[in-house]
């Protein structure tokens, strides 16, 4: 697993290499929308979430699971789909990210942390 932040960005080429070693076309990631960081490169979003809660001072309500498709562009690059997003107590009743404002925030963070 790798923490990605303003000082330690990740390139699309790195993501492509990670995806080849994992699922072939995607890299799982968990984004902390409060701290503008993300954890990448694990088999499960739950593993990234656990590490962020334990080591990054993250809060559950700020963490969202996504999939990155490094060979894709624009709206096809980020997919909002993870079991960790299923949190009715926080108002999210699906595996996606139901709040469009949070979706926009996640995309902005990802675009800032992934260099071309």
User: Residue 98's pLDDT is what?
Assistant: 96
User: Residue 108's pLDDT is what?
Assistant: 97
Number of domains in the chain: 1
In contact, 49 and 31? CB cutoff 8 Å: no
Q: Tell me if the pTM is above 0.85.
A: yes
User: Residue 116's pLDDT is what?
Assistant: 77
Residues of the chain with pLDDT under 50: none
How far apart CA 101 and CA 9 sit, in angstroms, is: 23
Beta bridge partners of 68: 27, 78
User: Residue 21's pLDDT is what?
Assistant: 84
Give me the helices (H) in the chain, please. Answer: 12-21, 45-55, 100-113
User: Residue 114's pLDDT is what?
Assistant: 97
Q: How big is the chain by its Cα radius of gyration, in Å?
A: 13
List pLDDT tens digits, range 7-37: 999 999 999 999 998 778 999 999 999 999 9
Phi and psi angles of residue 93, each rounded to the nearest 5 degrees, phi first: -105, 15
Domain that includes residue 60, residue range:
2-115
Distance of CA 28 to the CA centre of its chain: 6
């Amino acid at each position: 697993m790798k923490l990605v932040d303003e000082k330690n960005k990740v390139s699309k080429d790195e993501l492509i290499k990670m995806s080849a070693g994992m699922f072939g076309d995607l890299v799982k990631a968990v984004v902390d929308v409060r701290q503008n960081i993300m954890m990448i490169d694990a088999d499960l979003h739950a593993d990234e979430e656990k590490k962020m809660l334990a080591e990054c001072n993250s809060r559950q309500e700020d963490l969202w699971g996504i999939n990155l498709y490094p060979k894709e562009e624009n709206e096809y690059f980020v997919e909002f789909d993870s079991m960790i997003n299923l949190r009715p107590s926080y108002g999210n009743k699906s595996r996606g990210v139901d709040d469009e404002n949070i979706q926009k925030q996640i995309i902005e963070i990802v675009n800032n942390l992934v260099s071309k």
